[in-house]
Structures are given as C-alpha cells and as structure tokens.
Structure 1
Amino acid sequence: MGNRSFPLVLGGVFVAFFTALAVSPASRPVWWAENIPVMAMFVLLVATFHRFRYTNLAYAMMAVWLFLHTIGGHYTFANVPFGFVTDLFGFSRNHFDRIAHFSVGFYAFALAELLTRKRLAHPVVVVLFGLTAIMAVACAYEIIEWGYAVVEGGEAGVEFLGSQGDPWDAQKDMLADTLGAVFALAVFVLRQCLASGEAAGRASTAA
C-alpha cells in the first residue's frame, strides 16, 4: 500500500465498517447519540484532506477512536461483547468504554502535528495545548452525556451514560482520555526527536 493511498484505503474500510454496524443496532436512539460525533469527525477529516494532510500515523491513530466508538454505538458501550477481557482480569464491569476513551486522547497527536507543521506555537506550548485540549473535550463530552441522559431518560439515557453503576464513571473516563493524550504526545515527541536526529545525521554526512 502506497503512503499516499493509506488514508483513502483506511477511509474506505471505515465507511464499510460503519455501514455494516449501522444495521440493527441494540438501540437506535443510542446509536444516533453515539455516532453523531463519529460522523462529524469523519466528515471533517474528509473535508480537510486536501487542505491539510496529516501523516499516515496521525490518521491511523485518529481512526482507532472512530472504529471503537462505532462498535460502542452498535452494541451500546456497556454491552459490547468484551466478556473475555472482563473474565481474564476479573473486572467487575465492562471496560470497553475506558479503552474507547483512551483512544480519544490519540487526537492530541494530530493537534500537535497541526500546530507544529503550521508553526503556530513553541514545542512546549504544542504539547501543553494538545493535552489540555483533550482534557477540555473530555469534560465537555461528560457534560453532554449527563444532559442527554437527563433529557432522554429511560433505558436509552442509561445506556448512553454507560456508568454501569460506578459513581466515579465520569471522572475515570476523563482520566482515560487524559492518559491517552499523554501516550499520544509521548509518541509525537519521540517521533520529532527521531526526525531531528535523522536530519542532523544527513546534514553531518553532507558536510
């Protein structure tokens, strides 16, 4: 697969995956609530593809959340078939939603890449902005979840909230988002250091 075709192939695979999981979801109201952000993000990435092309690594990292959230929207996060992991580690709840929240943090990599390539901020600010932006999104999403659960009520509201009886669910979700951002930014910084080292090596060889 050529480097230039990777985002296009990845996008095509996601469209097919999303279409398949749009059929007969566990709860259509929950499916809409969960997948509106997914559709919005995918449309945004498609619309900006020719204006600003991220690296293949950035697209791959952003795709993780798109795929995981699509799965959660189909089954509802609390009911994703994830029992083998729950049984393996002896968990008291389904932690698929925590993994999906962790993948939200991967978008910090794309944010850092955008700011760096556009030369919009100092490297330290780039990292801090990537981290705090994800934390802000995590906080906003938990507020939206709470509002939807209150307005919708009933089983759909409970399934969308997905707390599974944990009173600290919102805080743990936000922590998972933040840890995902820390991981993504660590990958970004490492990648930048390796790229700088390679550039310095080529300059030294040329001299």
Structure 2
Amino acid sequence: MPAPGVRPGHADLRVSNQDREQVVEHVKAAYAEGRFDKFEFDDRLERAMTARVHGDLMPIMHELYGPRPVAPMPYPPGRTVPGHHHNVRADTGGDRLGAAAAHLLPLAGLFVIGPLIMLLAAGKTSPYIRKHAVEALNFQLTLLGATVLLAITVVGLVLMPVLWIGGVVLSVVGGMAALGEGDFRYPLTLRLVK
C-alpha cells in the first residue's frame, strides 16, 4: 500500500542513487538545524541509504516536512549536488573573487603562500573559496615538488621552464573558472591537502 499522499504506482517505483542522496541531504540539513538527535539522525540516514522504492523514502520526507503533496525535492541551500561533490556554488561575488585570488596569487610570487592565505582567511566561511584554495594549494605544492626533483637532472633543467609556463597558464585558467563560478581541477596534481 502506498505511503499517504503518494500517487498509486509511484511508491513502487525504484529509486536511484540520486533520489537517495537528495533525501540524505535533507536529513543532514535537518540534523544540522537541531531538529532531531543523533539516534534519530542515524535511523533516518540508514533508512534513506537502504531505500529501494519511493515508498521507502516518502515517510522520511513526511517526518521532516509533514504530509505535503509529492513534489520534486530541491536540494537544501548551500549543499552540493550528489555526483558533483566538487560543484559548490559561490554565494556572493566576493566568494568568486576570493576563489580566483587563490589561483592568481601564486603569479604574484606567493606560490604556496597565496592559496594558503585564502584557505585560512576565508576557507572556513566559504565552501567555494575553500574548494578552489585547496585545489590551487595542491597544485602549487605539486609544482614545487616537481621543480625540486627536476632541478637535480639535466633533462629536468630543460623541462623546468615548460613546467612553470604551464603552471602560469593553468593558474590563469583556474582563476577565470573561479570568477565564472566554474569547477576547475588541475591536471597531474597530487592532492595532499583535503
């Protein structure tokens, strides 16, 4: 028998991973707001993650929002979209500028320091700046490590200018992506900082 408010036949439809993740995000947001305790959070989280059909998810949403008519479930504000964990939106123009600065400050001679400053200064208040600062910091650390390793070989000395020119180009591309509220991942980067 379908859950209250669910159209006949809809409750028996299989859920996708995205459907489960949407409900999980709502449960996390409600827990963060203090709407239920840890035990209740764990219970709802387990029920959402093991749901097989929409009829399994609807009672959880009813517990959170009451028995409203079934409608597409939007993501809570400021959350990432499942499957796009790196796709964090900028809330303000300042977020975009701060994220772009994380990529561009190394061009002003603040190689590892620039992204680190942005991470420490604004990374705690803006997930968007944090994401870009961490990516830029990891790239600069990789570039620094590659430079040290290449400096000890003759071939490396020839490759170093190419490496640094590539680094400048990628930093500019990263800065432009951050300004345009885009996602950017540096290629061949060791991601030491999470």
Taking structure 2 as the reference length, what is the TM-score of the superposition?
Answer: 0.28
Taking structure 1 as the reference length, what is the TM-score of the superposition?
Answer: 0.26
Query: Which structure would you say has the larger RCO, counting Cα contacts within 8 Å and 6 or more residues apart?
Result: 1
Structure 1 or 2: larger helix share? 1
* Structure number with larger C-alpha Rg: 2
